[in-house]
Amino acid sequence: MASTQRLRRPSIAQLLSHSAGILRDGSDGGQWQDRRPFLDAAELRADLAVAPVIEPNIRFKYSNHGFGLAGLVIEEVTGTPYSTWIRQEIIDPAGLEETEPDMPVADPVPLARGHSGKLPLGRRVVIPGDNPTNAMAPATGFVSTARDLARFFAQLDPAAAESVLAVASRREMVRSQWRNPHSSLERYYGLGIISGKAAEWEWFGHSGAFQGFASRTVALLEPGIVVSLVTNAMDGPTDRWSDGAINILACFAKRGAPTGEVRDWTGRWWSLWGAIDLVPIGRTVMVGVPSQPNPFTDASEISVSGADYGRISLASGFAHYREPVRKIRGADGKVEEVWLGGMRFQPEATAAAELERHYRG
Is residue 187 scored above 90 in pLDDT? Answer: yes
Segment 172-199 shows an average pLDDT of 96
CB 69 within 8 A of CB 4: yes
Which has more confidence, 110 or 267? Answer: 267
91-148 pLDDT tens trace: 999 999 999 999 999 888 889 999 999 999 999 999 999 999 999 999 999 999 999 9
Could you tell me how far CA 130 lies from the centroid of its own chain? 21
**Structural class in CATH, domain 1-107+130-141:** alpha beta
Preceding peptide of 120 cis, ω within 30°: yes
Residue 64 — φ and ψ, nearest 5°?
A: -65, -35
pLDDT band per the 50, 70, 90 thresholds, residue 10? confident
* CA 73/CA 9 separation, integer angstroms: 12
Homologous superfamily of domain range 144-255? DD-peptidase/beta-lactamase superfamily (3.40.710.10)
The CA distances from residue 173 to 157, 207, 280, in Å, are 9, 16, 38
Round the average pLDDT of the chain to a whole number and report it.
95
pLDDT of residue 107: 80
Instruction: Name which residue leads in pLDDT, 9 or 326.
Output: 326
Crossing angle for the helix pair 167-174 and 146-156, to the nearest 10 degrees: 110
Query: Residue 320, CB half-sphere, CA atoms under 13 Å: how many?
Result: 16
Q: Is it true that 1-107+130-141 and 144-255 share their CATH fold?
A: yes
What per-residue confidence (pLDDT) applies to 2?
46
Q: Average pLDDT of 248-266?
A: 96
Q: Find the mean pLDDT for residues 210-218.
A: 97
Band (pLDDT 50/70/90 cuts) for residue 6 is: low
**How far, in Å, CA of 304 to CA of 283, rounded?**
8
**Per-residue pLDDT, 8:** 60
Domains of the chain, residue spans? 1-107+130-141, 144-255, 267-359
DSSP 135-200: GGHHHH--B--HHHHHHHHHHHSTT-SS-SS-HHHHHHHHS--EE-SS-SS--EE-SS-EEEEETT
Mean predicted confidence (pLDDT) in 50-71: 95
Q: Rounded CA gap, 10 and 181, in Å?
A: 21
Say what the pLDDT of residue 4 is. 47
Average pLDDT (201-230) is 96
